[in-house]
Structure 1
């Protein structure tokens, strides 16, 4: 069965191929602010990060470990597919295998402790175009075989909005993809293999995701970046309060599905409109907690700490904040919670959702 997705083509004005993004080096700006580490002993699993080498930005294991070992007690991490290291000499459906092989290699380097004790990529989430239908089982099995200790599931970014400017996924995503028969045929291959699905959608799609969660209750869904709230973007800003209320109502409905977990993070990506990247000096963790806290607290109150986990989303969130500062912000947000609730938010929920064996 052929895929229904087209790879999004990026071109220069003269029609030649261009990279999707040329990333800006803002290290000098980020260096303008440093903080003392809050609760440096608290064990953390970073539930969502990437490794890649893209135009303007190299972020591989040395770069990530420099961040992870900047003061917080990062015990383990979950590697999330980022569209890198695809195979070139394999069929289109199988190209994502290369990224899982790459991530597993980086995990093996981390396991050697040559650069420290953080278990990078202790869980690996690969990519897969589920619209190949049941045939995608071949890729899923090959990914599992290539990283048997660490492979946990897949992510297919399915975010779509009527505002075409927001449709920046690597694939051209049609509306209603989460209920398309070919997608569902591919999605059905996850649960029977004990694999999870990382969902990256926009908030108007959350009710579609709830329908998917109810249709496949055996499949764990890890919702990226608090559900893709786009209330501050161009199209929605004029009715931000209404859009935020829509997000809240949809999240309450999604919370009725016990197989859904929520990642708290990702709001440092500039296109979401929070503006932390555009300040003269980087925001400190108090400011970030003030701005982001209400959204994260709503998720925690709605899903419970046992289904919420903090994520750095580095390097994308590095556009707005330094790694040690973002975890300070998370710790400030979590201050009102009990010790057990904090442990869930920073460690235990990620370990449960991704079935990780990471020592405290």
Structure 2
């Protein structure tokens, strides 16, 4: 991974893009998600991000198909905004190490900073501690990548167990583990997230909260207890901001998501806020910001 350096402005550690003409996003179903059933590109994101002081982003996988990650790496290599990609590969495949090596060899492969799987869709609540999955996670650690956890609350205990078994791998919890914000319940989510946070190789994203609420968003009052829980459990040095754009648009604009995160962290001092809005992401993912993309011959097929 590239050596980290300090970055001006905000680092948005979690967003997506997709092109429905390239492939379907089969999770976008029903009338509630209808506003997302269109293309969302970096061209759409960039003016919104730049307007609120975002200097760099991390582009995160959306679907479990092998073609998406090389496409994202090409986007990153040709972008002044995307500083890292969290991609996908089949962790259970016998050749997972070779698959990771192929991704690193792709055009833009130096932008690969992590791997993610849609664990939230797995019916087995202990999927993360299956022997074949643990073997794949160990391969992720071997090549110096991190692993993003997208899980539901009932899967947090297995996430903590996996992190305990693989202390050499950094686990990044997306969206606070999707707490039940709409119901107002804190337990047992809070206990389980503290169990995960007690492990030093874990980090958390302050992301996805607005869409775990009721999607009619206008106040941070309902979100405060969840943000406070992860702030106290992980500390600013292991917490990073992510917009979850464009999914966040179901409940709030990009600017509102940023300002909400700033309100939720208002009790922090300037150095601590820098950690949440830049430092933690830079350090965890080994990001660099700005500069021309490295010249390479051609994207991989």
User: Where on the TM-score scale, by shorter chain, does this alignment land: which range?
Assistant: 0.7 to 0.9
Measure, in 1, the Cα distance between the counterparts of 2:124 and 2:228: 32
Q: TM-score, normalised by structure 1?
A: 0.70
Q: TM-score, normalised by structure 2?
A: 0.83
Measure, in 2, the Cα distance between the counterparts of 1:108 and 1:355: 16
Q: Does 1:104 align with 2:55?
A: no
Q: Does 1:342 align with 2:273?
A: yes
Measure, in 1, the Cα distance between the counterparts of 2:109 and 2:277: 25
Measure, in 1, the Cα distance between the counterparts of 2:207 and 2:109: 28
For structure 1, the 5+ residue unaligned runs are: 1-41, 87-95, 112-118, 160-168
Deviations 1:51-103 (A, max 9, x none): 1023731111111113212x21111100101128x4xxxxxxxxx1x222211
Runs (4+) off by over 4 Å: none
Q: 1:231 Cα deviation (Å)?
A: 6.1
Change over 3 Å in CA distance of 1:44–1:231 after alignment to 2: closer
Measure, in 2, the Cα distance between the counterparts of 1:149 and 1:217: 24
Write out aligned runs for 1:167-316 (5 A).
169=121, 172-230=122-180, 232=182, 237=183, 241=185, 244-269=186-211, 272=212, 274-275=213-214, 277=215, 279=216, 283-284=217-218, 287=219, 289-316=220-247
Deviations 1:228-255 (A, max 9, x none): 22364xxxx5xx64xx221111111111
Contact 1:255 1:303 in 2 (8 A): yes
Q: 1:57 aligns with which of 16, 29, 38?
A: 38
- What is the Cα-based RMSD across aligned positions, in Å? 2.0
Q: 1:340 Cα deviation (Å)?
A: 0.4
Per chain length, whose mean CA-contact separation is higher, i.e. which structure has more relative contact order (CA < 8 Å, sep 6+)?
A: 2
Write out aligned runs for 1:46-195 (5 A).
46-54=12-20, 56-69=37-50, 71-83=51-63, 86=65, 96=66, 98-111=67-80, 119-120=81-82, 122-132=83-93, 134-146=94-106, 147-159=108-120, 169=121, 172-195=122-145
Q: Tell me which residue corresponds to 1:44.
A: 10
